[in-house]
Structure formats: C-alpha cells, structure tokens
Amino acid sequence: MSKVGILGAGSWGTALAHLLYTNGHQVTVWSIDEREIEMLNTEHEHRDKLPGVSLPEEMNFTTDLPSAVKEKELVILAVPSPYIRDTARKASAFVAPGQILVNVAKGIEASSLMTMTQVIEQEIPAADVAVLSGPSHAEEVGRELPTTVVVGARTEQTADFVRDHFMNDVFRVYTNPDVLGIEIGAALKNVIALAAGIADGLGCGDNAKAALITRGVTEMTRLGVAIGGRSETFFGLTGIGDLIVTCESRHSRNRHAGMLIGQGKTAAEAMDEVKMVVEGVHSAKAAKALSEKYQVPMPIVEQVNEVLFENKKAKDALRELMHRDRKTEHSEIAWK
C-alpha cells in the first residue's frame, strides 16, 4: 500500500481517487474549494461532477495542501490545465527531492507554449514528473468500466512504478518514454474534438466526423514530430485513441461545447452551459501558435481558432476547409 495525494477534486481527480483506493492505496484528495471538500466529506460522492460513484469514508478530503503532498509516494496533479502552474508553484515547497508527481491534465500553456509536464518541471525541478493519459472519461473510470491508458516518464523505472499503482482488472496501463508526444497528442485532440462537435452542431453527419478525425490525426502527428515527439505515439492511445473517444463520446465536454457552437452559441456561452473547463478552448490558441512557430500547416486548428476568437461563423469555417487547394493525401508517397 502506498500513500497517494491527489490535487484536484473534479471528476477526473475523484475517479482516480476511487480507482487508487480500490487498488489498496491510502488516498488523500485536496481541493482549494472548501464547499467541494465539505460535500465530499459529508456525502462521500461528488454529486456535481461524478454522481453515482460512492467514495469510502476512509478516504481523506482536505483543503490543506501540505497534508496532500508531504510523505506521499505518488502525488497526482488533476486540476484543469489552466491551473497547473499555480498549483505546482504552491505545492513546490512541500515536494521532496525525487518525489514522483503524475500529471493527468491535458493542455498546452498559452503564454509559454509549454506542456503541463514541462510547466511542473519548471516549477518543481526537484520532482520526478510523469504523465498519465489516454481515452479515459472519468464517468466510465468511476463506474469501473474497462479503460486503457499510457504512462510516460523520463525513466522506465518511474513509468513502471506509476503503472503498477494504477493498473487493475479494468484499468490497463501501457508505458511509453515519449513524454512530449503523449502530452502534445492529449492537448491537440481536444482542439480537434471541438471541430468534431461543431460539425455535429451543423448536422454534417458521420462522413464529416470521420474526415475530421483522420485529418486531425495528420495535423497532430505533423506538429508533434516537428516539436520532437515520435510519430508512433500519435497512432497510439494518446493520439488516435483519445481523439476517437473525445470526438464521439456523450461524456466529452469538448465535443459538447463544439456542438453548442455549431448550433450558434458563442464560445463563452458554450462553456457556461457545459459547466466544466473545456480544455480545447484553452489549448486552441497555443496549438495555432505552435503551428506557426514550427511552420506546420494545421487548417483544422486554424479554423477552430477563427470560430472561437474571431467571430467566424461555423458554416463558413467548414466551407473554407472543403475548398482548400487540391492536393495528394500523403505527400510522402510518390507516383511511379
């Protein structure tokens, strides 16, 4: 049994707390929100974000950050990506040298264009930082439905250590040394999922959805490889796997927000209706900036940005994608 601290008591943090407790670990969950912690301590259920998942009375919920970090074999950072830096900065004073921190947020910091792991490593250089990602909606993990994810770390030893804490009969964990590729795929798929949701809101049908997923993988892979990731990663769980589930699932907040935008709502109105952080909106500007920095064409990402931030109509963005210059599908394949 290990002592595990989870920073963030949203749907994902709560689902992972349930999973790790089921695996026999002693779990402490921290949140900055006093009302949230009071609800979890009294009702043993996150009725707002993960209803129906019962949490044991032995699980500790707290607003005291040191108690969730100190002397823990694992600390999971499960706050939304816009809050990773601030949370890491506050936790840094309590992290021991070599302590293993696992990022489970998906995003790119707009101001620095850094991944979440890079942000954590900058704020807590003494930590051993890993990432856990993949097609894993909290609603299904909390109900113990079969799920498969991947852990990335700087060393195989750390990756195996994290894997062994999470893995059980319904939660399978692979390992991968490509930390950068894992995080780029995890962040970019949210932007593509917004596009897929917009297409659903416009009533485009299954053909359009399949095209967006397929061309989305192409955009993700091109940029990820240009930055330094491995192409194989984008055809794995945190690339095409996470993209499929985020574009298709009724649980996907990015798809839901995109659908509302396709139906005519603004990005702000869509996020208000979803009532949770829509990571793709926060990552869209960063994805566009990275595509420009590395000179990688990303037409889907570009159109999503124009719809989100430049008041472009969704139907006009779709028309522009359909009328792009004629070209071969794979430039690497030459005619004989």
Express each pLDDT in 129-163 by its tens digit.
Answer: 999 999 999 999 999 999 999 999 999 999 999 99
Contacting residues for 27 by C-beta, under 8 A, at least 6 apart: 4, 5, 6, 17, 20, 21, 59, 60
Phi-psi region of 71 (alpha: psi -120 to 50; beta: other; left: phi over 0): left
Per-residue model confidence (pLDDT) at position 208: 92
Per-residue model confidence (pLDDT) at position 266: 84
Q: Any idea which residue has 């609800």 for tokens?
A: 39
**Range(s) within the chain of domains with CATH label 3.40.50.720:** 3-177
Per-residue model confidence (pLDDT) at position 278: 74
Q: Quick one: fold of 180-322?
A: N-(1-d-carboxylethyl)-l-norvaline Dehydrogenase; domain 2 (1.10.1040)
Per-residue model confidence as pLDDT tens digits over 225-277? 999 999 999 999 999 999 999 898 888 888 888 889 999 888 778 877 876 66
Asked if residues 174 and 148 have their Cβ atoms less than 8 Å apart, the reply is yes
Find residue 29's DSSP bridge partners. Answer: 6, 61
Residue type present at position 124 = I
- Least Cα distance to 318 among 330, 302, 329 occurs for 302
Element spanning 6, H or E: strand 3-7
Q: Any idea which residue has 């109900």 for tokens?
A: 143
- The pairing of strands 26-30 and 60-62 is parallel
CATH number of 3-177: 3.40.50.720
Kindly compute the dihedral angle of the four CA atoms of residues 228, 233, 239, 245, in this order, to the nearest 10 degrees.
-160
Kindly compute the dihedral angle of the four CA atoms of residues 5, 94, 97, 134, in this order, to the nearest 10 degrees.
30
Asked if residues 236 and 189 have their Cβ atoms less than 8 Å apart, the reply is no
Task: Report the pLDDT averaged over residues 39-45.
Answer: 94
* Structure-block tokens of residue 212: 């967006």
**Which ranges in the chain belong to alpha helices (H)?**
11-22, 34-43, 65-69, 84-91, 116-123, 138-142, 156-166, 179-202, 206-227, 231-234, 242-248, 253-262, 267-274, 279-293, 299-309, 314-322
Per-residue model confidence (pLDDT) at position 203: 94
Per-residue model confidence (pLDDT) at position 122: 98
Q: Does the pLDDT of residue 280 top 80, yes or no?
A: no
Per-residue model confidence (pLDDT) at position 300: 95
Between 7-11, 211-215, 322-326, the lowest mean confidence (pLDDT) is in 322-326
**Range(s) within the chain of domains with CATH label 1.10.1040.10:** 180-322
Per-residue model confidence (pLDDT) at position 283: 87
- Least Cα distance to 173 among 236, 106, 107, 98 occurs for 236
Contacting residues for 125 by C-beta, under 8 A, at least 6 apart: none
209 flagged as catalytic = no
- Percent of the chain surpassing pLDDT 90: 81
Per-residue model confidence (pLDDT) at position 271: 78
Per-residue model confidence as pLDDT tens digits over 176-208? 999 999 999 999 999 999 999 999 999 999 999
Catalytic residue among 72, 106, 189, 288: 189
* CA Rg value for the chain: 20
